[in-house]
Structure 1
Amino acid sequence: MHFQISKDQIIRGLSKIQGIVDKKSTIPILSNVLIETEDENKLSLIATDLEVGMKVVIDAEIITPGKITISAKKLFEIIRELPEQPININVRENSWVEIKCGKAVFNIVGLAAEEYPYFPNLQDIDYFNVDSEIIKKMIEKTSFSMSNDEKKYNLNGLYLVKLNIDGSNYIRFVATDAHRLALIQEEIEIPNIDNLSKGVILPRKGVIEFKKLSEDGDSQLNIGFSENNVIVNKENSTIIMRLVDGDFPDYERVIPLNNQSIAVANVDKLLHALKRISTLSSEKTRGIKIELSNGKLEISSSNPELGEAREDLEVEYTGDKIEIGFNSKYLMDILTAQDHDFIEFILKDNISSGMVRPENSNNYTCVLMPMRL
């Protein structure tokens, strides 16, 4: 195998697959990238951790066709430091790989491509198209609520489901870690797909790569399903991820329906006040207290080892006085994801979940469990 390629082409491809490569795997070849010639001017880069895989097709001058696997991290580090000149990569005997650029020459050890996990042929997939910006926004507004607890595998990802609301098709994204929940839905015209109608859970790592792909250029995303996998394609890049095998909890049950106390607050002012006051909150619990009264929202924190802090904000509120505790980081995550100037802070009492949503909008809802302070 022998090919010549520009630094720009190969560095862009290698950058995309770095997040996929399993650097801690007990299977050495999963730390490698599979490089394979496609035709006379195309080269594919493939990486997988057996849960999420990615294939990127780039331009190259193919001199001798073939395939090889090389350490993805080491190859990226080498290519990144090379000058802006054509790069020649030549596979020698016993899977040794020679990399030449200018006067620089590297000889590194590869592994036979035959040992690499199979990346499926995705030619016969029925895709539907979605605007990249919509997907990017939906992931940004929900992914912060995904669980980091590997034991809660069914919460360790993002739930997707297709709904029909008043005759219109919607796709809904939901994430929760049992302490908070984020839900967003957008009207999107999509075909009838059994997987989506029943609901699927995308793995956490796959969601991160899904978001990166949605940010890469303005073209549409093509999404399809094959058995227990979801495939996402955009231009020259394809992600395949294995769906989480589990049932997502009945999330609608935890969305408050009887919260009547609504305060309208400026997002930017509330966010910056939280950042200031939370500096004295407990580093373990990050707890802050919120007190709502007529026209005022007071944020306070207290730490026996550091001291206490308090700040008042003007809000639109005329209900009963309510005092409630929240995790400040969780609340700041919700506010950071907002793209409206004002939010509705919807409460019932000091022991019930609170709800946050953009002013005059029902398509994006966040729920936050209270804390005892």
Structure 2
Amino acid sequence: MKFTVDRAVLLKALAHVQSVVERRNTIPILANVLLEARDDALRLTATDMEIAIVEEVPGVQVARAGRITAPAATLYEIVRKLPDGARVEFDQSGDAPLALRAGRFATSLMVLPVDEFPSMTEGKLPHQFALPAAVLRNLIDRTRFAISTEETRYYLNGIYLHTTEAEGRPVLRAVATDGHRLARVEVDLPEGAAGMPGVIVPRKTVAELRKLAEDVGGEDPIQVALSDTKIRFSFGTVNLTSKLIDGTFPEYERVIPRGNDRVLRVGKKEFSEAVGRVAAISSERSRPVKLALARHHLLLSAASPEQGQAQEELDSDSVSYDAGPLEIGFQARYLNDITDQIAEQVEFRFADGSAPTIVTDAARPEALYVLMPMRV
């Protein structure tokens, strides 16, 4: 195999694929990236056996077609440190190391047999549809903060993607929860998605997909194909294939309260900044911020045995609350994780000081959040 490629386009592709490679693993081949050069293109593949990213780099000068594997992290670091504008030449044959040259720089990398490199991209994915990139990013951004990191409840370690009906119309819904908060966001059901199984997309896949989709135009489509066990996202020259979490997502609708009739509406900016200020009194991330409500009145407070206490009263012009007095506490970080998803006005719906609270964006009803209170 012998080919020459621009450093900039190679670096971008390597940055994408090498991020799935586990730095520590017991299978040496999984630390490598598969390079396939043919037809004036270079195809790079990396996998950790749970996720595989394949990216094609066009405009490559292929002198001799072939396939080889090379250590992903080392190759990425070498290319990253080459000067801008460099042309990188790769040359390898037989069992010899992979020779890499750029200007006066030259190195060689040990290779592993291509036959040992696993394939994750095979198999049928019968359910296929497309989502605009901006829509998919929105689904991810407004739910992923609630994904659980508790490995014992592995079925919560991802985003549950499924079809359902909302107010008489079919929707595609994304849900995540860690038992302390729940995020639920929905969009109109894309053509072709009807009949798809409910699937749990793993946390690592969600993170990689979000990074890869960052530069995709808002209206550009991202193709989604899935089965009961696998999902693939395709856009531009990139394909991301992932196994799905083999588990049953809980019946989340049962934890969404129905009778919360005490409604607080407050400006997002004022509320978030006040939460940050009063929470700064304590270094403990789990310490609650207390909300004390009365008619058109909101007082936020926090206390720490070591540091003291802090409180802030929000201006009545930014607070709308007509129900009876109420005191309720929430973890500050959880509050801000949710309000970060809201544009201008936050709407809280309370039942009492110990029941789950519903949080929504007054202007964007397609998203709903549930937050469990803390004792104060």
What is the alpha-carbon root mean square deviation over aligned residues? 1.7
Q: Which runs of 5+ in 2 are unaligned?
A: none
Gaps of 5+ in 1: none
Structure 1 equivalent of residue 185 of structure 2: 184
Distance 1:95 1:189 in 2: 50
- Mapping 1:14-25, distance limit 5 Å: 14-25=14-25
TM-score normalised to structure 1 length: 0.95
Deviations 1:144-164 (A, max 9, x none): 000011111000000001123
1:105 aligns to 2:109 (yes or no): no
| Partners of 2:10 and 2:164 in 1: CA distance | 41
Give the stretch that moved more between structures: 22-31 or 295-304: 22-31
Q: CA separation of 1:19/1:12 partners in 2, compared to 1, >3 Å: closer, same or farther?
A: same
SS for the counterpart of 1:330 is: helix
Tell me the residue number matched to 1:334: 338
Maintained 8 Å contact 2:127/2:193: no
Opposite residue 174 of structure 2, the aligned amino acid is F
Letter in 1 for 2:15: S
More displaced 10-residue stretch of structure 1: 156-165 or 284-293: 284-293
Residues in 1 aligned to 2:15 and 2:114: alpha-carbon distance in whole angstroms: 21
**CA apart distance, 1:353:** 0.9
Rounded to whole Å, the distance in 2 between the matches of 1:236 and 1:126 is: 21
- Residue 370 of structure 1 pairs with residue 373 of structure 2: yes
Shift of 1:94: 2.6
Q: Is the 8 A contact 1:46 1:54 kept in 2?
A: yes
CA distance, structure 2, for counterparts of residue 242 and residue 185 of structure 1 = 23
Contact 1:92–1:98, Cα closer than 8 Å, also in 2 = no
Task: Please say if residues 68 and 95 of structure 1, whose CA atoms lie closer than 8 Å, have aligned partners that are also in contact.
Answer: no
Q: Given the superposition, is the C-alpha separation of residues 176 and 129 from structure 1 closer, same or farther in structure 2, using an over 3 Å criterion?
A: same
Does the Cα contact within 8 Å between 2:13 and 2:55 map onto a contact in 1?
A: yes
Matches within 5 A, 1:213-232: 213-218=212-217, 219-232=220-233
Measure, in 1, the Cα distance between the counterparts of 2:167 and 2:328.
36
Please list the CA deviations of residues 341-371 of structure 1 after superposition, one character each: whole Å capped at 9, or x if unmatched: 1010111111101111011543111111111
Structure 1 partner of 2:44: 45
2:228 & 2:199 partners in 1: Cα distance?
12
Amino acid in the other structure paired with 1:210: L
Change (3 A) 1:123 1:103: farther
Identity of aligned residues (%): 32
Contact 2:51–2:242 (8 Å) recurs in 1: yes
Q: Whole-Å Cα distance in 1 between the matches of residues 209 and 80 of structure 2?
A: 24
Task: Summarize deviations over 1:128-156 as a string: whole Å, max 9, x none.
Answer: 11100011011100000000111110000
Aligned amino acid, residue 201 of structure 2: L
Task: Evaluate the alpha carbon distance shift between residue 103 and residue 282 of structure 1 in structure 2; reply closer, same or farther with a 3 A threshold.
Answer: closer
Q: Check if 1:322 corresponds to 2:326.
A: yes
1:151-186 per-position Cα deviation (integer Å, ceiling 9, x unaligned): 110000000011234553311000000010000011
How high is the TM-score relative to the length of structure 2?
A: 0.94
Confirm or deny: 8 A CA contact 2:327 2:353 kept in the other structure. yes
Deviation, 1:121, is 4.4
Cα shift at 1:227: 4.7
Letter in 2 for 1:68: I
Equivalent of residue 352 in structure 1, options 346, 352, 355: 355
After superposition, where does 1:1-373 map in structure 2 within 5 Å?
A: 1-37=1-37, 39-59=38-58, 60-83=60-83, 84-121=85-122, 127-166=128-167, 168-196=169-197, 199-218=198-217, 219-281=220-282, 283-314=284-315, 315-338=319-342, 340-373=343-376
Matches of 1:355 and 1:124, distance apart in 2 = 36
- 2:111 maps to a residue whose letter is G
Asked if the contact 1:281/1:287 (under 8 Å) is kept, the reply is no
Runs of 4+ in 1 over 6 A off after TM superposition: none
1:73-123 alpha-carbon deviations (Å, 9 max, x no partner): 111110011122211011144341111000000112121111110142479
